[in-house]
Structures are given as C-alpha cells and as structure tokens.
C-alpha cells in the first residue's frame, strides 16, 4: 500500500519504520523534519497525503489533529483511510471523522496502548472507532504495528476506550503508590507487600506488571530511576481528556478528578515533569497526612 505517515515522533517514527520494513511504500511528514529509516520525506502533509491509500496521523493533541485534517482532507483520494492513532479528545475525533466522511474517506480513530517499547516492537494494542469497511481496510496495518486491535464501535469510541482505560490506570497507580507508602510506615516489607497484593484482590497492572517500588516485581521504570516509560506529563494529558469527556457527558468521576488534580500538582508544582508516572511512590514516601 501507499501510506502517508504524519507525525514521526517517539511513537510515529518506529510505527512508520515497521510499516516500511513490512514492504509498504511509506512517505512521511513531520514539522520537525524528522528522518526515519525506510520512510521518504514529503515537503508537506498535503504532499504526503496525495494519492495515499491510507494516511496515518500520530500527533500531540486534538487541536493539531484538526489543523492537519483541514489541510489534507481535500487532497486525499476518495475511499482512502484516514487513520488517526494519536490520543485526542473524543469531540475532535468525532469532528474529524465527520469531515473525512463528508469527503468520501474512511475515518478511524485508533489510539494505542503499549508506549514507545510497543511501537518499536510492533506490539501495540489499538482501540478503534469507525466503520467495519474502514476497519477491514486497516486491519493488515494493525497486524504489523501491533498485536491486537479491538473494534470499539463508531467514530470516537476508540478515544473513549483509551481515556477510560487510562483513567483506571492513573487511579490504580496512585492507589498502589500510596499503599506502598502506608505499608512502609506500618513496618511492612515491600517484597511481602508485593507478594500478598499481586496475588490478592488488590492486584492490578500497576502492581503486577509495572510495580512502582524499585527492585520488586518484574523490571519497570522504578528500576531505572523512574526514567519513562510512560511519563507523568502524558498521564496528566490523558486524565485531563477523561475529565473533559466526563464534564461533556455529565458523568460523575470523583476518583478520576482526584487523580487529575494529583498528577497536575506532581507535574506542574513538584518534581514530576519528565519522570515516569510511577514516580508517585517517591512522592508519597516520607510524607505525612498534612
């Protein structure tokens, strides 16, 4: 296939490279003029999108996605797939899909889970919103870039799944970190805490697969000085999207709101910026209730 890839950053770069290595003809564009092995550079997003069977976007946010969509949709071939893999707000995903459909395109919102490691290894999970026809056309590409693609329903539902998942992740990571800090104060050994919780009803991905305590459980960013991994800044972005969606949908999400407030403080007022989101544990260590 002829694929245009717009946004060749930490995630987009390795995803585009995997598509090229699998034999697709990939043309890329990034405003930062990034070069990626196997991907030829276009002079603009419009140039990249022209004549492509599938245009993939992997961009920082919904405002940028809307701007890129405005720029490229008119130059895309009817029947082409507009596959957005960025994490953006549900409203932007639905607005771009409506605009793309009106131009005879097949839109999909397909945010990912798996981080830079998953993008590089081709083991991402895609949460996909859009039509069956669009899903069928993009399926071979999901197979290359990832290990699983779940069709979540119509346009916007991929983003809805992503922000609900990450709201759970933010809340469970905070709960896991504050429980470790409480266990410390109660004189409970961290290994014993892990051995109990990871096999009891308090278990979660945050404890079992991504333990925030260094030297405990499988290897995680805690064992690497809390270098991301999944940066606290990105968790804050996703939590904010969840609260924006909750507000628009009139959903009561008190723990999601509390997690958003805590990550905002951690990133903007404390030392969380640039650290992994599991660095919440050293944040809680030694603190009292006040």
Q: Given the complex with ligand NAD, which of 237 and 275 has the nearer CB atom?
A: 237
**At its nearest, how many Å lie between ligand NAD and the CB of residue 18?**
14
Q: Given the complex with ligand NAD, which of 69 and 106 has the nearer CB atom?
A: 69
Q: Given the complex with ligand NAD, which of 61 and 208 has the nearer CB atom?
A: 61
Q: Given the complex with ligand NAD, which of 122 and 183 has the nearer CB atom?
A: 122
CB atoms within 10 A of CB 10: 13
Hey, CA dihedral for 145, 151, 156, 158, is it positive or negative? negative
Q: What is the DSSP letter of 77?
A: P
Distance CA 249, CA 264 (A): 22
**At its nearest, how many Å lie between ligand NAD and the CB of residue 197?**
25
Q: Given the complex with ligand NAD, which of 81 and 127 has the nearer CB atom?
A: 127
HSE value, Cβ hemisphere, 13 Å, CA-based, for 289 = 0
Q: Given the complex with ligand NAD, which of 1 and 116 has the nearer CB atom?
A: 116
Distance CA 80, CA 24 (A): 15
Q: Are 85 and 112 in contact (CB under 8 A)?
A: yes
**At its nearest, how many Å lie between ligand NAD and the CB of residue 55?**
12
Q: Residue number with the shortest CB distance to ligand NAD?
A: 9
Token duo for residue 161:
């799944």
Token duo for residue 226:
């809390």
Maximum C-alpha span of the chain: 65
List residues near ligand NAD by CB under 6 A. 6-12, 29-32, 34, 45, 58-60, 64, 68, 86-87, 112, 115-116, 230, 234, 237
- Torsion angles phi and psi, residue 252, rounded to 5: -90, 110
HSE value, Cβ hemisphere, 13 Å, CA-based, for 189 = 6
**At its nearest, how many Å lie between ligand NAD and the CB of residue 225?**
18
Residues tagged active-site: 162
**At its nearest, how many Å lie between ligand NAD and the CB of residue 141?**
16
Listed in sequence order, the residues at least 6 apart from 249 whose beta carbon sits closer than 8 Å to its beta carbon are none
**Run of H or E including 146:** strand 146-153
Q: Which of 181, 131, 186 is nearest to 154 (CA)?
A: 131
**At its nearest, how many Å lie between ligand NAD and the CB of residue 86?**
4
């Amino acid at each position: 296939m002829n694929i245009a890839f717009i946004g060749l950053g930490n995630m987009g770069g390795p995803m585009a490279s995997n598509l090229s290595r699998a034999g697709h003809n990939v043309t890329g564009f990034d405003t930062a003029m990034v070069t990626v092995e196997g991907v030829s550079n276009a002079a603009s997003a419009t140039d990249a999108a022209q004549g492509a069977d599938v245009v993939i976007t992997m961009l920082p946010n919904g405002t940028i996605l809307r701007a890129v969509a405005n720029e490229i949709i008119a130059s895309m071939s009817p029947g082409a797939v507009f596959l957005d893999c960025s994490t953006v707000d549900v409203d932007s995903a639905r607005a771009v899909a409506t605009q793309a459909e009106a131009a005879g395109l097949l839109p999909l919102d397909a945010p990912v889970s798996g981080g830079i490691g998953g993008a590089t290894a081709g083991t991402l999970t895609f949460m996909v919103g859009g039509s069956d026809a669009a899903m069928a056309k993009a399926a071979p590409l999901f197979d290359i870039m990832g290990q699983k693609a779940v069709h979540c329903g119509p346009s916007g539902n991929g983003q809805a799944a992503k922000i609900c998942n990450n709201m759970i992740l933010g809340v469970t990571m905070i709960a896991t970190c504050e429980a470790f800090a409480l266990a410390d104060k109660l004189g409970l050994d961290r290994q014993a805490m892990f051995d109990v919780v990871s096999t009891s009803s308090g278990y979660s991905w945050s404890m079992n697969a991504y333990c925030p305590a260094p030297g405990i459980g499988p290897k995680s960013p805690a064992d690497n000085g809390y270098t991301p991994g999944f940066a606290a800044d990105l968790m804050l972005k996703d939590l904010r999207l969840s609260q924006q969606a909750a507000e628009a949908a009139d959903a009561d999400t008190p723990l999601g709101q509390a997690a958003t407030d805590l990550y905002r403080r951690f990133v903007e007022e404390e030392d969380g910026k640039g650290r992994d989101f599991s660095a919440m544990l050293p944040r809680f260590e030694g603190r009292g209730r006040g």
